[in-house]
Structures are given as structure tokens and as C-alpha cells.
Chains A and B, each alone.
Chain A
Amino acid sequence: MTTLLMIGTRKGLFLARSDDRDTWAVDGPHFAMNAVYAVALDTRRPTPRLLVGADSEHWGPSVFHSDDLGATWEETEGGALRFPAETGAALARAWQLQPAGPAEPGVVYAGVEPAALFRSEDGGATFSLVEGLWDHPHRPRWEPGGGGLCLHTVLPHPTDPDRLLVAISSSGVYRTEDGGKSWQASNGGIHAWHNPDPHPEFGQCVHKVARHPDRPDEMFLQNHGGVYRSRDGGASWGEIHAGLPATFGFPLVTHPHTPGTAYIYPLVADAHRMPPEDRCRVYRTTDAGDSWHPLATGLPQEQAYITVLRDALCTDDADPAGVYFGTRTGDVFASADEGESWTSLARYLPDVLTVRAARVA
């Protein structure tokens, strides 16, 4: 069984393959000199489709797909992802490409900058703007975070196509329960550290949200300061960062098989933005955030000024699960034992922006 890891970097896409998750072959860069912020492995097909959002500094952003595991790439004539003329907006970047649940096999969502959600019904070849969110009355008051005004997280419900959650920096969480026609800000309990009102209806700087498909109402959220959990489908949130060495961070992923297990990468906020004690450590919970434990075996533990961005931590779908992360300093680390131990998978890459992994054959 081959595991494929897609590594999106500031200067192109790298593909790493392994039959044993011990020895890896890395090729690339594909889309050289394009910043690859969004990748997806759509494993709902007999041969998984790879999706890539690639931004050329000169020629703008585009979305590509491959049905032969990266040997060749297709680009939709005219562009897969375009704002309608009447919006007055132009695509700056695809931040997230997210296949929907198994009930909608052709549906892929795209979260983009400027903050908007797009939906494809043909596997990512063409997308349409989800107008219900674009027309939301809050939108004129959404403020960009440091990365721009981006819709960076899309969580389709695993069984109910009408239910969807998105997160926007720095506008917070929005949910729909009618297939995208109407949306509600859903930030109750999440602290807005940068706002005079610490609990506004919207405006939270949410960095990532994740959930396990077997417990769709239980979600975990990495905020700009604070890790949170919801047990009511995102309607309300409570803090779960007791015991962590720092509450800031970007990525958060759930275990592919075990509900209640999740991984984060804490950083010291806000003037430091380095890992606590300058030690590179992933933290894992196995009790839905009631406690956290460091995972550091094989990772640099001295003078490790390593940042992991919001999409640069992922798992694969194997058992035991593989866990992967890429760094702004061009390293990729891999664990084939659920995070217990780590090895260097790649070094000296450009800044890693996103990683995604799955078994492909």
C-alpha cells in the first residue's frame, strides 16, 4: 500500500511516496514558483483525485487537478474558481480545498480569499459561489487577519449535506443548516483577544476547526489564543487548554479513526511565536481535550524556532495512523505510530504551507 503525502510550499508542490511509511521518495517541485496554500486528496474515487490551489505571483491563482496521482495535471479552461462579475471581487487565493462527505461524491468545497465559499459538483473542475454566505450582512465588517481575509476552513457534515461549518480569519465561525442558503455566526464562548468586547458575535481570530466524522457534534478549535471544544455542533464553545504550555497555535487535526483524539502545535503568543522553550513538540489529547500530552521523540528539542502553519499538520488514513507536519523552515516530519515517534521526511524545502496524506493504492 502506497501512502502519498502532498506538500504545498511557498515555491511549489512536492509529492512524497512510501510503501512502508519509513522510506520516502520526494519529487518536485510541481508548479514551481507558485505558492501552494491548498491541496486535497479526494479518496472517494477509485483512483484518488489530487487537487491543488497554486498562486503565481505574476499570473494569479488557479486550481489544478490530477487523476493519475500527480503524473499530469489539468486546469479548467477559463479557470475553475472565479468570482462572478457582479460581485466586483477577484480571487486572490484558494486557502482550502475540501471534499464533502460520502453522501455527495462529486462535491468539493473551496474556501478562498477574499473570504468566500465556493462549491463544486464535478469534483473540483468548476465551482460556484455560495451566495448565501457572500450576501451575509456581517461581511462588510469582516476584518482580515495577518494572512489576509481568508475563508480557511470548511467542515462538511459527514452525513447531512445541509450542515456545514466554515471559519474565517479574523471573522470567526459561521454555520449553515440549510445547505448554504443562510448562515449564523457561531462564536459563543470564543475569546476575541484583539477586541474591546472579548465576546463579540463575530470577529474572533479562529485559526482552525476539526471534528471526527463519528462524532460530528464534537468539534475542536484552535483560536488565536485558546483551544476550544464544542459538543453541540459548533453552537457553543468551551476552553480546553488547561495543561498546555501555550494557548496560541495554528493547526489542529483529529485522529482519522478514534474520536476524541486530536493534535495541535502550540506556540507562544504573541510577541514570540515560537514553540514553548524553543522545543519542537506536537501535543495530543486522547480524551477530547480534557488533558494534553507532548509528543517529542525524534523532534528537535534545542533552539528549535519552528512554526507550523494552520494547514501544515495532517494525518493519513492508515492504522496505526500516520501524522505529518511541515514547517516554515522547510522541514517535514513524519510519524508512523500516531505521533509517538518522529523522523525527518524532507529537509530544506521552501516554507511549508500545507500537507495532506492518504493511502492511494
Chain B
Amino acid sequence: MTGADSAVAVRVPAGLRHHTGGAAVLEVEVAALGGDATVGALLDHLAGVHPDLERRVRDEQRRLRRHVNVFLGSENVRDLREQATPVAGGDEVAIIPAVSGG
């Protein structure tokens, strides 16, 4: 099975699309995450295929950067189980810069 029901859609913000060849959405097959279908595993997978995208979202210790939010549907994963939050086929994960700066 492949396609929408078996994949997580990762929405990439405009400011990071130069790291994805311009792609606004990346489809990641849940099967590609091994037995650990979580936000953290999803980002680990992205580190392999788009390393410069992943390192803008997490630091080198794989912690989410302070002013980056990752949403599962409409929920900020910081309000769920952070990177341990489970993902499933059909889910949408959005990377969105937080409001900050002056």
C-alpha cells in the first residue's frame, strides 16, 4: 500500500523550500519509519533525505529548535508527546516558524 493512506504529509514552510528542491509537501511512507512511527522518527528520516531541512528544525542533539513549531494536524507536538508523538498514514505534519524577533 502506498499513497495518502500510507504516508505522512510533511508541509515545508516557504523559508525552507530551497532545501527540498522547492517542494512544499513531502510524502513520507510510514513504512520507511521502521517500527517507530513517531514525529522523531519522521525527522530522523528527513535527516537522511534532506539533511539541511532537518538541521533547520532540530539542533545537532536532535532537539526541536526553540522557535520552530511542529504541528500534527492542528496540535503543536509540544502539547502532545513532543518527538515521541505517534504518526500514522494520512496524517499531516506541518513545520511552522514561531512568532519571534523584533
CB distance from B66 to the nearest CB of A (A): 9
Q: Which chain B residues lie closer than 8 Å to A272 at the CB level?
A: none
Is A60 a contact partner of B65 (Cβ separation < 8 A)? Answer: yes
A197 within 8 A of B: no
Query: Which of chain B's residues 6-64 have a Cβ closer than 8 Å to chain A?
Result: 15-16, 51-52, 55-57, 59-61, 63
Which residues of A (290-345) have their CB < 8 Å from a CB of B?
Answer: none
Q: Which chain B residue lies CB-closest to A61?
A: B59
**Chain B residues with CB under 8 A of A287:** none
Check B60–A90 contact: CB distance below 8 A.
yes
Given that A58-B15, A58-B97, A60-B55 are contacting pairs, would A91 and B60 also be in contact in the complex, using a CB cutoff of 8 Å?
yes
**Min CB gap B25→A, angstroms:** 19
Given the interface pairs A82-B60, A88-B61, A90-B60, the reply to whether A57 lies near B52 with Cβ below 8 Å is no
Give which listed residue, B51, B52, B61, B65, contacts A58 with CB less than 8 A.
Answer: B65
Residues of chain A contacted by B15 (CB below 8 angstroms): 58-59
User: B60 is contacted by which of A33, A56, A58, A85 (Cβ under 8 Å)?
Assistant: A85
How many B residues are at the interface, by size bracket?
Answer: 10 to 19
Q: CB distance A78 to B97 under 8 Å? A: no
Contact status of A89 and B101, CB under 8 A, knowing A58-B68, A59-B56, A77-B52: no
**Residue B67 at the chain A interface, CB threshold 8 Å:** yes
- Please judge, given known A-B contacts A58-B68, A58-B97, A59-B68, whether A78 and B61 are in contact too, CB under 8 Å: no
Among the listed A57, A83, A88, A90, which residue makes an inter-chain contact with B101, where contact means beta carbons less than 8 Å apart? Answer: A57
Residues from chain A with a CB closer than 8 A to the CB of B59 are 60, 90-91
* A: number of interface residues (CB 8 Å): 17
Q: Which chain B residues lie closer than 8 Å to A79 at the CB level?
A: 52, 55, 60
Distance (whole angstroms) from the CB of B35 to the closest CB of chain A: 22
Q: Does more than half of chain A's interface fall in helix, strand or loop, or is it mixed?
A: loop
Contact A83 B60 (CB under 8 A): yes
CB <8 Å contact, B98 and A78: no
Does B2 interact with chain A (Cβ within 8 Å)?
no
By the criterion CB–CB under 8 Å, are A90 and B63 in contact? yes
CA distance A80 to B66 in the complex (A): 21
Q: Which of A59, A60, A78, A91 contacts B51 (CB 8 A)?
A: A78
| Complex Cα–Cα for A59 and B55 (A) | 8
CA distance A82 to B55 in the complex (A): 10
Could you tell me if B61 and A60 are in contact, using CB atoms closer than 8 angstroms?
A: no
Residues of A within 8 A of B63 (CB): 90
Q: Which B residues touch A89, using CB under 8 A?
A: 61
Answer yes or no: B74 CB below 8 A from chain A CBs: no
CB contact under 8 A between A78 and B65, given known A59-B16, A85-B60, A90-B60? no
* Given contact pairs A33-B101, A58-B97, A58-B98, A90 touches B55 in the complex (Cβ within 8 A): no
A83 proximity list for chain B (CB < 8 A): 60-61
A75 at the interface (CB under 8 A from B): yes
Chain B contacts for A91, CB-based, 8 A: 59-60
Please, which residue of chain B has its CB at the minimum distance from the CB of A84?
B60
CA separation between A346 and B27, bound complex, in Å? 47
Which 7 residue pairs of A and B lie closest in terms of their CB atoms, listed nearest first? A90-B59, A59-B56, A58-B97, A82-B60, A78-B51, A58-B67, A57-B101
- Please list the residues of chain B having a beta carbon within 8 angstroms of any beta carbon in chain A: 15-16, 51-52, 55-57, 59-61, 63, 65, 67-68, 97-98, 100-101
Known: A58-B15, A75-B52, A90-B63. 19 other contacts (CB 8 A): A57-B100, A58-B68, A58-B97, A58-B98, A59-B16, A59-B97, A60-B55, A60-B56, A60-B59, A60-B65, A77-B51, A77-B52, A79-B55, A85-B61, A88-B61, A90-B59, A90-B60, A91-B59, A91-B60
Contacts A/B (CB < 8 Å), 8 sampled: A33-B101, A57-B101, A58-B67, A58-B98, A59-B16, A60-B59, A78-B51, A89-B61
